[in-house]
Amino acid sequence: MSAVTAPERTFRRRVADLIKRRETSVVVAIVLVVALATSVNSSFAFGRDGWRNLLLTPSLLVVLAVAQAVVIISKNIDLSVSAVLGLTAYATGEMFTAWPSLPIPVVVVVAIAFGSGLGAVNGLLVSRARVPSLVITLGTLYIFRGLGIAWVGSAHIKPSDVPDSFERIGIASVLGVPVLTMVAIVVVIVAAFVLGSTRPGRELYAIGSNEEAADLYGLRVQRRVFFSFVASGTLAGLAGVMYAARYVMVDSQAGSGLELQSVAGAVVGGVAITGGSGTVIGAALGAVLLTTISRALPIVGVPDFWQQALVGALIIAAIVLDRVLANRHARRLVQEREPNVEPAEVAR
Compare residues 203 and 259 and give the one whose CB is closer to another protein. 203
Q: Name the nearest CA neighbour of 233 among 76, 96, 14.
A: 76
CB of residue 123 vs another protein: minimum separation in angstroms? 20
Ranges of H-type helices in the chain = 11-20, 22-40, 48-73, 81-98, 104-129, 133-152, 164-171, 179-197, 199-209, 211-216, 221-247, 258-268, 280-299, 304-337, 343-347
One-character DSSP codes across 71-109: HHHTT---TTHHHHHHHHHHHHHHHHHH-TTS-HHHHHH
Compare residues 234 and 279 and give the one whose CB is closer to another protein. 279
Q: Which of residues 314-333 bind another protein (CB under 8 A)?
A: 329-330, 332-333
CB of residue 205 vs another protein: minimum separation in angstroms? 6
Compare residues 271 and 290 and give the one whose CB is closer to another protein. 271
CB of residue 81 vs another protein: minimum separation in angstroms? 24
- Answer for which of 93, 178, 208, 233 binds another protein (CB under 8 A) is 208
- Answer for which of 160, 301, 337, 340 binds another protein (CB under 8 A) is 337
Q: Which of residues 255-314 bind another protein (CB under 8 A)?
A: 272, 276-277
From residue 70 to residue 109, the character string flagging contacts with another protein as x (rule: CB under 8 A) and all else as - is ----------------------------------------
CB of residue 29 vs another protein: minimum separation in angstroms? 24
* CB within 8 Å of 1: residues ≥ 6 apart: none
Q: Is 338 in the site for another protein (CB under 8 A)?
A: yes
Compare residues 50 and 200 and give the one whose CB is closer to another protein. 200
CB of residue 17 vs another protein: minimum separation in angstroms? 10
Q: Which of residues 212-251 bind another protein (CB under 8 A)?
A: 212-219
First to last CA, the chain: 23
From residue 159 to residue 198, the character string flagging contacts with another protein as x (rule: CB under 8 A) and all else as - is ----------------------------------x---xx
* CB within 8 Å of 37: residues ≥ 6 apart: 44, 45, 292, 295, 296, 299, 300
Compare residues 6 and 174 and give the one whose CB is closer to another protein. 6
Give the amino acid at 180: L
Burial 89-127 (b: 16+ CB within 10 A, else e): bbbbbbbbeeeeeeebeebbebbbebbbebbbbbbebbb
Sequence length of the chain is 348
Interface with another protein by CB under 8 A: which residues?
Answer: 1-7, 193, 197-199, 202-203, 205-206, 208-210, 212-219, 272, 276-277, 329-330, 332-334, 337-338, 344-348
